[in-house]
Structure formats: structure tokens, C-alpha cells
């Protein structure tokens, strides 16, 4: 169970991460925070590059930090933008790899109280996953 106060803590951490966004090209700053089943939180910001496709979204920075620290199960993800911007398809797919149908995704505004809350199953319906592959994942 992810409690409201967990979500409020994630929002505060994602807002702080957003301040570290490196987005000189789009000028669109994004902050993210993911909560792992272990109880630990990992944050990320978008990091752009002069070679545009080499940049990465805030959500994937946070998710990859979590997985690289040994996490495999993520229960919630918060994304903070100026305007409640929605996570891109690639970030939904990457989150989906480590999240079950009931995992929570919250979009929050950088300032004020605007929020949108989704479950994994609604933000990426009929998602492609390990069960669609012929071979079972080995690790």
C-alpha cells in the first residue's frame, strides 16, 4: 500500500530533482521520483545533450538509478513538470518492466496542488512484457 504521505514525500523529492534538470535546449524541466518495494526512493531529472537523442527523460534516470542499485520492484512514480506533462511512451514502457498493474503514477505541478493519478494498467493498457516473449527472462 502506498500512502498519501509517501506520495507527498515523493512529490517534494521530485520537485527538488526538477531543479537539477539540465534542459538548455527544450527549457522544459522535469523531475521524477520512484518508490521501490524496499521503501527506498530514487530521483531523476531530465538530462539533455547537444546531440539531442543522447539526452534522457527524468523518469528513466530515476528508474535506472533504482535498478542499478539492485531494485526490481517499483510501486510508485511521481513526475513533476510546470504543466502536469504526461510521461512519454518510452518511460511508461520502462516503468512497466518493474511495476505491476496496480503501481501508481502521479503527475504533479511544480507549484501548487494540481495532481493527476493513474494506475499502471490505465497508463499503458495491454502492455508488452516478459510474458509476451517466447523465452523466459533468466535473471
Indicate which residues carry an active-site annotation: 59
DSSP letter assigned to residue 56: B
CB of 38 to ligand THU, least distance (A): 24
CB of 23 to ligand THU, least distance (A): 5
d(CA 109, CA 16): 12
| Gyration radius (Cα) of the chain, Å | 15
Binding residue for ligand THU, selected from 8, 69, 72, 88, defined by CB under 6 A: 88
CB of 90 to ligand THU, least distance (A): 8
d(CA 124, CA 139): 24
From 12-20, 51-59, 94-102, 122-130, span contacting ligand THU (CB under 6 A)? 51-59
Binding residue for ligand THU, selected from 59, 78, 99, 105, defined by CB under 6 A: 59
In degrees and rounded to multiples of 5, residue 41 shows phi and psi of -115, 140
Residues whose CB is less than 8 angstroms from the CB of residue 70 and which lie 6 or more positions away in sequence, other chains included: none
d(CA 125, CA 129): 11
Nearer to ligand THU, 38 or 47 (CB): 47
Residues in contact with ligand THU by CB under 6 A are 23, 26, 28, 30, 46, 48, 55, 57-59, 87-88, 91
Amino acid at each position: 500500500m502506498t500512502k498519501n504521505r509517501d506520495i507527498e514525500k515523493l512529490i517534494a523529492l521530485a520537485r527538488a530533482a526538477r531543479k537539477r534538470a539540465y534542459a538548455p535546449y527544450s527549457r522544459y524541466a522535469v523531475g521524477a521520483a520512484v518508490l521501490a518495494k524496499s521503501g527506498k526512493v530514487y530521483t531523476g531529472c531530465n538530462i539533455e545533450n547537444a546531440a539531442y537523442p543522447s539526452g534522457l527523460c527524468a523518469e528513466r534516470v530515476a528508474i535506472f538509478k533504482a535498478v542499478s542499485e539492485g531494485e526490481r520492484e517499483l510501486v510508485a512514480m511521481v513526475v513533476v513538470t510546470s504543466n502536469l506533462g504526461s510521461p512519454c511512451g518510452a518511460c511508461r514502457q520502462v516503468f512497466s518492466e518493474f511495476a505491476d498493474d496496480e503501481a501508481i503514477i502521479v503527475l504533479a505541478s511544480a507549484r501548487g496542488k494540481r495532481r493527476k493519478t493513474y494506475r499502471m494498467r490505465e497508463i499503458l493498457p495491454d502492455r508488452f512484457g516478459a510474458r509476451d516473449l517466447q523465452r523466459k527472462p533468466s535473471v
